[in-house]
Structure 1
Amino acid sequence: MSTFATGPAGGAKTIGTHNGTFHADEALAVYLLRQLPEYKNSQLVRSRDPAKLDACDIVVDVGAIYDPAKNRFDHHQRGFTEIFGHGFVTKLSSAGLVYKHFGKELIAQRIGKPVHDPTVELLWLKLYKEFIESIDANDNGINQYPTDVEARYRLNTGLSSRVGHLNPAWNQPSSADVYDSQFAKASALTGTEFFGRLDYYANAWLPARDVVKRAMESRTAVEPTGRILLLETFAPWKEHLFELEEETGIPEAEKALYVLYPDETGGNWRVQAVSATPSSFESRKALPEPWRGVRDDDLSTLTGIPGCIFVHASGFIGGNKSKEGAMEMAKRALEF
């Protein structure tokens, strides 16, 4: 058994987890708990001794008990089947268990909103999908792909792999203190990446969603059929468009075909065909075939639209020097 702490020891709560080789799930679970006011200055007890663990205020990834009322969050016991829910079916690890029960509080605390705010719920689900679920699956030995598919290359740079590499090597001198020191590094690594991802989703992903949502709400004012979306500022839009279409139940015949937005420089405008699916290279309605691969004055002459810059050879995107020109390109494309 080993114990180390961050912060004053007097009156501090204790978090228990197992000693020896560590993994990303309990490293992250411990870090997340320590961000809560209740466990801010907690001591960490790394042990498999039941008596030592019973004396802890909360225990993760060891003890063969999942009982939130008793603050016991293990997932290794026979018969454990807890999942996150909300459409997710991956069995939880200690990271997922802690996140399921305390994640909303952590997010609300980080972004300065009440825990029941809809934004907190949205980010809670997003962070599980994009960050926590893969740690749960990796720790529980759940394959990402069907077992009859052989990977073409090895991927050893994921978070779980990097945490694993922080364990002492089999032939490297080690002790409880060495494992404790390396676990502290692993916990900081997982927590830093988690909150970095949360900050991105709160400060960049959510604002982009708002840009797309506003464009969808005003689409019929931009063009009567509603099949052209106008984004007044450049923002990543594809993921949000598909998710918002599903959430709002837009019929297939009314879904957007083209999205207009200023390019990253803000000087020119783009008209992009919406793909058939989020991962597809096929478009719902590509820009007209006669325009594809034609550029500049030749394209302006061909279309009769001033300021044309290009249309990609596949027809998935085109450009114009002005918003009005890009809009005219999109309107003309609807007619083909």
Structure 2
Amino acid sequence: MKIGTHDGTFHCDEVLACYMLKLLPEYKDAEIIRTRDLEKLKTCDIVVDVGTDFDHQRKRYDHHQREFKETFSSIKPAFGEKYKIKLSSAGLIYAFYGEEVIKEITPKECLLSTEDLKIIYKKVYDHFIEEIDAIDNGVPIASEEPRYKINTHLSARVGRLNPEWNSTKAIDTDDLFRQAMNLVSKDFLYTVNYFTSIWFPARDHVKNALESRFDVHESGKILVLKQFCPWKDHLFDLEEEMGLTNQIKYVIFNDKPESWRVQAVPVAPGSFVLRKALHENWRGFSLEALSEIAGIQGCIFCHASGFIGGNSTRDGAIAMAIGSLDA
């Protein structure tokens, strides 16, 4: 088996595309042919990022041609129309083969249903692949000039493995390409493992908290997690699935012995804008001063922005949430 891609300067998208293909049994032992010679590319079983041709049936996955318009939404319409960024070769390979790749590298003891796999597949695109697509296609991260630049992202680190323009040493660029594949493997495997083994198991904890929210407070706007876990993405997903969008205002969890946190829910994952911040009069106070102002025993602190607070007991944290809800 032969995987074809272009020679010369390599980029993160085709490096990652080749790496993902070699995770599949069919291409595990495939030779990677780096060339722009169309006759040589014709001998390859699958070609990525070169050849000016996109044809899934013939396993040709270039994205540079003028007429190419494919996005994750156009390949996977079941996920809606939110994806506007054109796919790179990494995005193309992931769109068509990503679910199989995830199944290959997921530990056998992690039994994923078809629906579970779809959730993880989408999250890996959102949190990893889309960034590669955007950078390779020159899509800016913001509509305005960013206040600072990120120079340590994966695409930049892959780029640094290319030979320097003024190097006089004889360099095996195919060996550098293999080094780049090893580099992307660490980030990709971490991301998939995180979403399958760490992030996804938290879904049931958040769902159980949502289903029992009226046991905490009659408003149903306060969640108490039985144990701390990655909850934000799950909360937004489950709210939408359960028809509860924007209803939950505070999430309470135990972070260490005799320490409970009450956290205000943001308007979106990653946002610093809150649905309802903690009580304005409490912000920036701590310990006895905060307990006296709030009229709640055991207060530890309330952040100056009102996004999070703490209490020594579960009931105290709930009281802080209720007091902020009614403010």
TM-score (norm 1): 0.86
- Deviation track 1:177-228 (CA, whole Å, cap 9, x = no partner) reads 6111111111121122111111112122212333222211211122222111
- The one of 265, 278, 282 equivalent to 1:274 is 265
CA distance in 2, matches of 1:137, 1:312: 35
The equivalent residue for 1:55 is 43
Cα distance, 1:298–1:63 mapped onto 2, change above 3 Å: closer
The equivalent residue for 2:168 is 173
- The Cα of 1:18 is off from its aligned counterpart by 1.3
- For these two proteins, the number of residue pairs brought into alignment is 318
The equivalent residue for 1:248 is 242
- The one of 54, 62, 75 equivalent to 1:66 is 54
- Deviation track 1:303-323 (CA, whole Å, cap 9, x = no partner) reads 443322233344333222111
Displacement over 6 Å in runs of 4+ = 113-116
- The one of 120, 129, 152 equivalent to 2:117 is 120
Cα contact 2:236–2:245 (8 A) shared by 1: no
The equivalent residue for 2:76 is none
CA distance in 2, matches of 1:276, 1:116: 30
The equivalent residue for 2:135 is 138
CA distance in 1, matches of 2:302, 2:275: 16
1:134 is paired with a residue whose SS is helix
The equivalent residue for 2:98 is 103
2:72 is paired with a residue whose SS is strand
Instruction: Give yes or no for the alignment of 1:162 onto 2:157.
Output: yes
The equivalent residue for 1:189 is 183
1:331 is paired with a residue whose SS is helix
1:272 is paired with a residue whose SS is strand
Q: Aligned letter for 1:118?
A: E
Cα distance, 1:98–1:328 mapped onto 2, change above 3 Å: same
2:262 is paired with a residue whose SS is strand
Cα distance, 1:61–1:282 mapped onto 2, change above 3 Å: closer
More displaced 10-residue stretch of structure 1: 293-302 or 88-97: 293-302
Cα distance, 1:293–1:56 mapped onto 2, change above 3 Å: closer
The equivalent residue for 2:210 is 216
Cα contact 2:264–2:274 (8 A) shared by 1: yes
The equivalent residue for 2:201 is 207
Cα distance, 1:276–1:102 mapped onto 2, change above 3 Å: closer
CA distance in 2, matches of 1:271, 1:116: 33
- The Cα of 1:36 is off from its aligned counterpart by 0.3
1:105 is paired with a residue whose SS is helix
The equivalent residue for 2:308 is 317
Instruction: Give yes or no for the alignment of 1:307 onto 2:298.
Output: yes
Cα contact 1:104–1:115 (8 A) shared by 2: no
CA distance in 2, matches of 1:299, 1:82: 55
- The Cα of 1:288 is off from its aligned counterpart by 2.9
More displaced 10-residue stretch of structure 1: 56-65 or 272-281: 272-281
- The Cα of 1:276 is off from its aligned counterpart by 4.0
Cα distance, 1:88–1:314 mapped onto 2, change above 3 Å: closer
Cα contact 1:215–1:231 (8 A) shared by 2: yes
The percent of aligned pairs where both chains have the same amino acid is: 49
Gaps of 5+ in 1: 1-12
Gaps of 5+ in 2: 74-78
Instruction: Give yes or no for the alignment of 1:227 onto 2:221.
Output: yes
Q: Aligned letter for 2:326?
A: E
CA distance in 2, matches of 1:329, 1:71: 58
- The Cα of 1:257 is off from its aligned counterpart by 1.9
Quick check: which has more Rg, 1 or 2?
A: 1
Instruction: Give yes or no for the alignment of 1:327 onto 2:318.
Output: yes
1:223 is paired with a residue whose SS is coil
Instruction: Give yes or no for the alignment of 1:16 onto 2:4.
Output: yes
